Amino acid sequence: MSTSAVPVLLPSLLDTDLYKMTMQQAVLQHFPEAQVTYRFTNRAPDMLFTRASVDAIQKSIEHLGRLQFTDDELSWLRTHCAYFREPYLQFLSRFQLQPVEQIKLSFVPHGDGEHGHLDLEIHGLWKEVILYEVPVMAIISETYFALCEQDWSIRGQRELAYKKGRQMLENGVILSEFGTRRRRSFATHEAVIQGLLDAHTDIQSSNQPGAGKLLGTSNVYFAKKYHLAPSGTIAHEWTMGIAAIRGYDHANLHALQLWDQVYQPPAFTPETVGDNLTIALTDTFSTKVFWDDLLHDDKGIELLKRWRGLRQDSGDSAKFLQHAVDVYRRIGVDPSKKLIIFSDGLDVARCLELQKLTKEVGILAGFGVGTNLTNDFTRSSSGERSKALNMVIKLYSINGRHTVKISDDLTKNTGDQDEIDMVKRRFGLYGLEHVEDA
């Protein structure tokens, strides 16, 4: 039986993923007046909500408007996130969400009228509403599993996370926890963090040669509470928004150059590896488009040489890995000095497989594991798998112009269909199912 309480009252605005805050600082610098909308999509429409659950979600979202960054939280950000500079921290000191004005939520009946779908749209200044996505998704998930799907128990989650963490760390995996958005509950998330820390402590004390480590968590609140490094750089929405504002020609390059202006000299000089936020996300419009964009421009090649590495979030990981190694060698870069972060629906087995592959081809690897850690459950009554919600909240428009995301699985797109078709034609992807076919 579910033990979650509703409404879900999140404890802090830090209960979000770091990349939302790093992007917020960049938006504040480059696009402070941009107006945006985000839309919610439930990719599993058979998983229906109840009227009561939507009412509870509404109350939980309204609670976000009562949260503010505390002096203690701002002090921690100053100390542990050197890339956050004073103008941004001053902005956060005055920051408050306005969910009643900024979020439209409604229940859409289906079938018996007591069950149905959730319709949600977020609108406002990009520099403000950018912080809704992660907590709102966490609220939706926790409420669904408190009221709509209750045949599960949190018992054993810390132990399960320990088992997974230990198996990965024993095999040399460098791990970050990425599970905020689709977690079963806040309590589940905390149990997972505790289990991973237990595994990390045991592995480190064993002095096992070649052991991996728990690098950190994307969740800023838990990073602060458990003395972990907050992990994250850029999400797809950064490139999506810039493409819509400035055009699709060289959108990947423009997005990374604008990022440089916030997080590289002369604006900011990283003094540690953890403060160097130069990991490029490659699949906003497919990795084919990313490579074509950067490799056909001297400035793009210079950026590839200088940035720490890449994040692979969709498509064929093995093919991506080999192509990245080949590209680095072709432009005169030693791949063993570069890093690939894998974050595409990972579980333990997939992490171990990719860890082996990266060693074979000679490149560094890190792993961002999310839903498989924070929403891995079985039904209490039958032992069958209790599926997580397959949902997204994505940037839908900016300054009245549609935004789109086209991953390396070319059938899984986000945004206005006419705009998607236009972008696919623009990049020679229309009618294809996989980026490898392009």
Chain segment 125-160, per-residue pLDDT in tens: 999 999 999 999 999 999 999 999 999 999 999 999
Say whether both 249 and 111 belong to one domain. no
Say whether both 142 and 273 belong to one domain. no
Where b means 16+ CB within 10 Å and e means fewer, 74-84 reads: eebbeebbebb
> Does 258 reside within a domain?
yes
DSSP secondary structure code for residue 388 in this structure: P
Give the separation between CA 387 and CA 81, rounded to whole angstroms. 35
SS3 381: coil
Say whether both 225 and 260 belong to one domain. yes
pLDDT, tens digit (0-9, with 9 covering 90-100), for 258-308: 999 999 999 999 999 999 999 999 999 999 999 999 999 999 999 999 999
> Does 426 reside within a domain?
no
> Does 2 reside within a domain?
no
> Does 399 reside within a domain?
yes
Say whether both 238 and 361 belong to one domain. yes
Say whether both 134 and 163 belong to one domain. no
Say whether both 120 and 190 belong to one domain. no
Say whether both 109 and 205 belong to one domain. no
- What residue type is assigned to position 281 of the chain? L
Say whether both 103 and 136 belong to one domain. yes
> Does 425 reside within a domain?
no
179: CATH: 3.20.140.10
Average pLDDT, the chain: 95
Total domains in the fold of the chain: 2
Average pLDDT (410-424) is: 87
Say whether both 99 and 38 belong to one domain. yes
Main-chain dihedrals φ then ψ at residue 139, nearest 5 degrees: -65, -45
> Does 51 reside within a domain?
yes
DSSP secondary structure code for residue 378 in this structure: E
Are the CB atoms for 16 and 220 separated by under 8 Å?
yes
For residue 431, the model assigns a pLDDT of 73
Say whether both 361 and 268 belong to one domain. yes
> Does 430 reside within a domain?
no
Say whether both 114 and 222 belong to one domain. no
For residue 19, the model assigns a pLDDT of 98
pLDDT score of 83 more than 70:
yes
Give the separation between CA 4 and CA 399, rounded to whole angstroms. 38
Q: Which domain holds residue 289?
A: 157-378
Give the separation between CA 80 and CA 227, rounded to whole angstroms. 10
Give the separation between CA 173 and CA 354, rounded to whole angstroms. 9
Say whether both 147 and 161 belong to one domain. no
Give the strand order in the sheet containing 229-230. Answer: 229-230, 213-217, 174-177, 364-369, 339-342, 309-312, 279-281
Q: Is the dihedral of CA 281, 284, 288, 290 positive or negative?
A: negative
pLDDT, tens digit (0-9, with 9 covering 90-100), for 157-185: 999 999 999 999 999 999 999 999 999 99
Q: What is the DSSP string of 201-263?
A: HHHHHHT-TT--EEEEESBHHHHHHTT-EE-----HHHHHHHHHHH-STTHHHHHHHHHHHHH
For residue 437, the model assigns a pLDDT of 46
- Which residue from 228, 281, 274 is spatially nearest to 256, judged by alpha carbons? 281
Model pTM?
Answer: 0.96
Q: State the burial class of residue 87 (Cβ atoms within 10 Å of its Cβ: 0-12, 13-18, 19+).
A: exposed
Give me the helix-helix angle, 71-80 and 86-93, nearest 10°.
160
Are the CB atoms for 381 and 156 separated by under 8 Å?
no
SS3 171: coil
For residue 320, the model assigns a pLDDT of 95
> Does 420 reside within a domain?
no
